[in-house]
Amino acid sequence: MKIVDIHVRTFRYASCVIRDSEGHGHPGANHEARQSIVTIVADDGTEGTMVGGISQSVLDGLVKPAILGQDPFYRERIWQTLKERQRLNLSSLSDRVVAVIDCALWDLAGRALGLPVYKLLGAYRDKVPAYASTMCGDDLPGGLDTPEAYAAFAVQCRERGYPAFKLHTWQPPIPGAPDVRRDVAACAAVRQAVGLGVPLMLDPYHYYSREQSLYLGRELEKLGFAWMEEPMDEHSMSSYVWLSDRLDLAICGPETVEGKMHARAEWIKHGAADILRGGVGDVGGITPLVKIAHLAESFGMRMEVHGGGLANLHVLCAMGIPGQFYERGLLHPFVDYEEPAPWLNRIEDPMDDEGFVHVPQQPGLGWDFNYAHIEGNLI
């Protein structure tokens, strides 16, 4: 089997989620948005697809020369080739671009063999508990505009079946943000609303100082929170060593810092985090995320996967480290998460009443695309 083509389809769709000047998502008026899917085609007609965009210039200049004519089952070799090409092309060949190629190859392999990806990886379970992961705080009345609003939404999520809840608190450009004491007030309101037995987590503003982060962590310890992630710039690993040394609260990371499994090995070595973190888009695909899971296991650490989506879900269901959650969201009182995206016939991660997300059993990643919508709205 050889790869004979790779192409990207970009299309329009209607969205009710807008982005603020810092890139955070919030509910807003319906507007036209864009999405892309990338498809790799083998010479026997088997295809593999992943949601995500790649510009035509990057596709033609960097990706096609590396993969056309290759055996699509040589995923490791292809991933290593693309990783090496990143050295002089980081501005265009980002980890998110490499992730799209890698995940599409895993989808192709699963379809070719008639197996879901998590079974190709070495299945451990077929469902995983989810936590409700909120959008960032806002100034929308009745949205996530006050500590009391977070508390009310946490109760709604508990009633829906979520066993755990994570706050993304207020960030610029929301007026008054960032404010570490307001973050604590929201966390305290949620704890009071759901009781002591519910695991709670916090993902706050990402550029607090050491002193602010320490204050936040100590307050979360009093509230019995499970972990905190990325309260400071992750490029300063020494700041996380400093913080972890002073807290009993678990620090989860790194999340967005560059470096794939290499950066995470350094964080383990220096004691910068208690729980390892990584997602397919952060590290360049399923292939490196599995390496990171094995790295965590080797050091007796948990790994919490960053973000939702089918690729992350398959890795979670192949991991033998107990206790991980699936991050379901981003959620908001004004957004119906259970409504599928226009380019899908069903949502990627349906959750049962007990709070479990079940991995698809279809070959590959388990996409159920609405091709009529995609083809009818091509750009």
Say yes or no: 138 and 106 in one domain: no
Say yes or no: 136 and 102 in one domain: no
Q: Cβ–Cβ contacts within 10 Å for residue 295, how many?
A: 18
Please tell me the predicted confidence (pLDDT) of residue 193: 98
- Does some domain include residue 41? yes
Cα(271)–Cα(252) distance, rounded to whole angstroms? Answer: 11
Say yes or no: 21 and 135 in one domain: no
Q: Which candidate, 5, 30, 2, places its Cα nearest to that of 16? A: 30
Say yes or no: 218 and 251 in one domain: yes
Residue 61, classed as helix, strand or coil, is helix
* pLDDT over threshold 90, residue 321: no
| Residue 323: pLDDT band with limits 50, 70, 90 | low
Say yes or no: 127 and 62 in one domain: no
Please report the beta strands in the chain, taking only residues with DSSP state E, as ranges in sequence order: 3-19, 25-42, 47-51, 127-134, 164-168, 200-203, 227-229, 250-252, 276-278, 303-305, 326-331, 356-358
Q: DSSP for 294-308?
A: HHHHHTT--EEEPS-
Please tell me the predicted confidence (pLDDT) of residue 322: 65
Say yes or no: 62 and 144 in one domain: no
- Give the pair of three-digit tokens for residue 359: 């991995």
> Using one digit for the tens of pLDDT, what is the confidence trace for 26-75?
999 999 999 999 999 999 999 999 999 999 999 999 999 999 999 999 99
Please tell me the predicted confidence (pLDDT) of residue 217: 98
- Whether the CB-CB separation of 253 and 277 falls below 8 Å is answered with yes
The CATH number for 198's domain is 3.20.20.120
Range of the domain at 162: 119-358
Q: What percent of the chain has pLDDT over 70?
A: 99
Cα(167)–Cα(128) distance, rounded to whole angstroms? Answer: 20
- Does some domain include residue 363? no
Kindly give the residue spans of alpha helices, DSSP state H, lying in 195-332.
210-222, 237-246, 260-270, 280-283, 286-298, 310-318
Of the candidate ranges 11-25, 137-151, 246-260, 312-326, the one whose mean pLDDT is the lowest? 312-326
- Does some domain include residue 364? no
- Does some domain include residue 365? no
